[in-house]
Amino acid sequence: MAQNHVTFLAMRDYAMNCSFSVAWLMAGACCINATFAAAPGDRIDNFRLLDQNGASHELRYLSDAKAVVLMVQGNGCPIVRQALPAFRELRDSYRSQGVEFLLVNSNLQDNRDAIAAEAKEFGIDIPILADDTQLVGEALGFERTAEVFVIDPKTWQLTYRGALDDRLDYEKQKPAPTRRYLADALDAMLAGQSVPLARTQTAGCLVNFPERTRGAAHAAISYSETIAPLLQKNCVACHRTGGVAPWAMTSYDMVRGFAPMIREVLRTKRMPPWHADSHYGHFVGDRSLSTAEVQTLVHWIEAGSPRGARPDPLLSQSAARTEWTLGTPDLVVEVPAFDVPATGVVNYQYPTLPNPVGHDAWVRAVEILPGDRSVVHHVLAGLDDPESKEARVGQLAAFGGYAPGKNAFFYPDDTGVLLRKDARLLFQMHYTPNGKSARDVTRVGYYFADTPPKHPLHLTFLFKGGLAIPPHAKAHTETVEFVYDRPVVVYTLMPHAHLRGKASRFTAIYPDGRQEILLNVPKYDFSWQTTYVLEEPKVFPAGTKVIFDMTWDNSAQNPANPDPDKTVRWGDQTWEEMNAGWIRFRYLDEGPDAAKTAEAR
Ligand code: HEC
């Protein structure tokens, strides 16, 4: 990352020495003002937004709906407030027929908290999606609040846009509508007929989209000075030759070719891969883009991905990168080789090795490099220490783990995990056969502290066995609660589920009753096993309760679901489920000597 940053600065210096005029002229010559305004018949692109409660909503997820109705909402607008009761009534009567109703707020002046407050004050029990980048409203051509958009999930075409009915107008309203445009449109769609009146005019408050008229400026966004550095800073670490991403950003031509796909992954918040809701807490290594960065990239793409005339920064990437993201380890251990068969199910393997350093050592990080990523599902690096009072599950992941997309990190300052002289290294290896036999030799790098840290680190493992996730459940939630009976400092949070994992949340309830959402993962993704390291560790007084919620999607709408007809129970394999929450912490009052007597659940 540091390396990237340097490249970025160097590029800027270079670019500033160049003249401005060529790119400017070229941009001016080709600028086409791409103003989007969806009309009935247009296909609506996918998007994913979070609502006022931090829940995720993706348009394409609603493919099993008969129709999707969006209404433009804005705080403080009297017309939309007056339209809401009728909208809710329609929701109530059409919901059972498979019609989805959502509100979308693209207002510049409304943020999540303000939207939640408006929802509370007006009793709005319909999700209000926060279009924080305005990209969805821009593309759909929102003009006024209270306008409704009806989408047919069979084709993703817009079938109706306009007023809900003819009751409302500025400062006057009829006692009852004489024309019910939205209901008529829905009735027609449910009857398999075309919508009788596909477009009407809406009264409502104008929504300000300052970027909408800036097409010329978007066409002048500099690839060399703005776009390429943005990609280098946020994407190239993975999207490089030999990186974990499937394609490398090695030139303008590559980026241009993938431009529509980049637009899609940004609109659906799939890339960069980062799954914590930025509304709650700050985490180390947050990969998400700022609102302005997303807008810049998408506007550049919508302007036709102009190249400009400057040199292409992506052509000169620093190729050499160490395979260890944390730097060269102090010790590299090879996990005993394992032959993975071509097919079948392999039980977890638990190889152990004697402590290779031959004396007590304090570990401050581990990084795990699987030998064959195509068959290594996950690895836990732990301890087998008969003298430790730590529970076995705590010992098993004492040092950390690997799963695809997992980040390696140094333990917090002044903390470490003790590897005693007579303890053994213990590994949990989960192999998944992939059609051809393979031999895996996984390497584990250990990073040691020169001096004993001030505090031993512990792990709380939150789980509830006895899972039974009903077939076809779109959202099944289980909650685990845990109370710390001594004051602790909490450093990291990690939710874990398998392929049906949908969302997760950690909440703290302090002894004074104050409630704080520590981490919200609105769209859990099994492919990205992230340990969320709190930027500011949290001190929990004794008596603080942690609530860990995990939600699964066992419906056919979950594309990763191996079998929506099954009742899913707890199990190690990915077609079974887990609700596992890990918290790394230290006791506030515990020094290094207490390490051997520590207790954790
Ligand atoms: C931490 C690594 C990582 C970072 C950072 C990252 N990507 Fe990706 N990207 C991946 C991986 C892995 C895939 C393929 C798997 C997937 O889609 O999750 C991918 C897939 C994609 C795809 C293709 C989607 C598909 O699967 O068809 C696009 C487009 C993309 N990334 C764009 C970006 C952009 C733009 C950025 C930066 C703003 C970015 N990525 C940052 C790892 C990364």
User: How many helices (H) does the chain have, and how many strands (E)?
Assistant: 12, 28
* Domain 48-210 bears CATH identifier 3.40.30.10: yes
Indicate whether 340 pLDDT > 70.
yes
Note the pLDDT of residue 43.
96
Note the pLDDT of residue 21.
29
Best mutation site among 133, 236, 239 for ligand 1 pocket (most ligand atoms within 8 Å of CB): 239
**How far lies 83's CA from each of 1, 38, 484, in Å?**
49, 22, 48
Domain boundaries 331-453, CATH class: mainly beta
Indicate whether 342 pLDDT > 90.
yes
Indicate whether 395 pLDDT > 60.
yes
Confidence tier at 36 by pLDDT (50, 70, 90): low
How many C-beta atoms surround the C-beta of residue 319 within 10 A? Answer: 8
Indicate whether 597 pLDDT > 70.
no
Q: Does 331-453 match 458-597 in CATH topology?
A: yes
**Domain ranges for the chain:** 2-29+220-315, 48-210, 331-453, 458-597
3-state helix, strand, coil split of the chain in percent (to 5) is 25, 30, 50
Least confident of 60-69, 123-132, 325-334, 379-388: 379-388
Burial 330-354 (b: 16+ CB within 10 A, else e): beebebeebebeeeeebeebeeeee
Cα 411 from chain centroid? 23
Q: Stretch 424-452: mean pLDDT, rounded?
A: 94
CA dihedral 401, 405, 410, 411 (to 10 degrees): -50
Note the pLDDT of residue 162.
96
Write down the H helix ranges in 164-236: 181-190, 215-219, 228-234
Note the pLDDT of residue 31.
31
Candidates 3.50.50.60, 2.60.120.230, 3.30.420.60, 2.160.10.10; correct CATH number of 458-597? Answer: 2.60.120.230
Question: Which residue's CA is the nearest one to ligand 1's atom 5?
Answer: 235
Q: How far apart are CA 412 and CA 492, in angstroms?
A: 9
- Residue-wise pLDDT for 213-223, tens only, equals 999 999 999 99
Q: Stretch 134-153: mean pLDDT, rounded?
A: 97
Indicate whether 261 pLDDT > 90.
yes
- Residue-wise pLDDT for 572-586, tens only, equals 788 899 999 999 999
Confidence tier at 319 by pLDDT (50, 70, 90): low
Top pLDDT among 592 and 267 is at 267
With a 6 Å cutoff on the Cβ, whether 229 touches ligand 1 is no
Which residue reads 């210096």 in tokens? 13
Burial 261-291 (b: 16+ CB within 10 A, else e): ebbbebbbbbbbbbbbbbbbbebeeebbbee
Q: Which ligand 1 atom is nearest residue 262's CA?
A: 29
Average pLDDT, rounded, for the chain: 89
Question: 75 CB contacts (<8 Å, ≥6 apart)?
Answer: 105, 107, 109, 110, 114, 115, 118
Closest CA to 426 of 355, 339, 347, 324: 355
Amino acid at 13: D
Confidence tier at 322 by pLDDT (50, 70, 90): low
> For a pLDDT cut of 90, what percent of the chain falls above it?
75
Indicate whether 281 pLDDT > 80.
yes
Least confident of 168-177, 445-454, 576-585: 168-177
Q: How far apart are CA 161 and CA 91, in angstroms?
A: 17
Best mutation site among 238, 268, 289, 527 for ligand 1 pocket (most ligand atoms within 8 Å of CB): 238
Q: Stretch 168-186: mean pLDDT, rounded?
A: 87
